[in-house]
Amino acid sequence: MALANKIIIITAPSGAGKTSITRHLMKTFPQLAFSVSAATRAARGAEKDGVDYHFMSEEKFNEKIQNNEFVEWEMVYQGKYYGTLRSELEKIWAENKIPVLDIDVKGAIHIKRQYPDSALTIFIDPPSVEELRNRLESRGTENAVAIDARVNKATYEISFKNHFDKTIVNDQLQRACAEAETIVKEFISL
Ligand code: 5GP
């Protein structure tokens, strides 16, 4: 299979460490390009528009749904929409690179259904739900109610892990990164 039209999807419950693993893969493989999603939530901390997300109003997001500009979109959290833009994937493919998507479990399943042969789905499994809660608490970016919502959602999402091509248990970040590297190297060389 040529490089063109491959997709790598990294999914996990929030706090399972998928962002760190995704960043590691982006640094390791020049053939990869991060697919910047559209999102209706506000930017956090040092996040930049067009780099972390294409931040936009709900109105603008709805317009893009109507125009069929999304490969998938989800209301990931109450009232907050996230979506993968077709234009983003096409831009990356045109650069002869492989898009890497950091998206939620439902979005990952949705895209895999559309690209069954060319998409690789990797599920990052937290060692336990308790550990996940600890990580979210020590990250300190959400309040207690938001953390509870994420932990409940995580429990639900873990129940879908059998839908994915590969599962990596993130018990130790360095080891998990190495495992992800091996999986991606193989996929790139197919
Ligand atoms: P956060 O608000 O913490 O940046 O991200 C919340 C969740 O939304 C994460 O689990 C992230 O993977 C997911 N997400 C980000 N972009 C997309 C997207 O385009 N589609 C879907 N379905 N989920 C996304």
* CATH number of the domain residue 179 falls in: 3.40.50.300
Reported pTM: 0.90
Domain of residue 32, residue span: 3-189
Read off the pLDDT band of 12 (50, 70, 90). very high
How many structural domains compose the chain? Answer: 1
Mutate to test the pocket of ligand 1, among 22, 84, 104 (most ligand atoms within 8 A of CB): 104
Q: Ligand 1 centre and the CA of 185: distance in Å?
A: 24
Mutate to test the pocket of ligand 1, among 44, 55, 75, 82 (most ligand atoms within 8 A of CB): 82
Q: Could you read off the pLDDT of 38-85 as tens digits, one per residue? A: 999 999 999 999 999 999 999 999 999 999 999 999 998 889 999 999
Q: Could you read off the pLDDT of 89-111 as tens digits, one per residue? A: 999 999 999 999 999 999 999 99
Output the residue whose Cα is nearest ligand 1's atom 10.
Answer: 104
Question: 140 is written with which tokens?
Answer: 């300190």
- Is 40 touching ligand 1 by the criterion CB < 6 Å? no
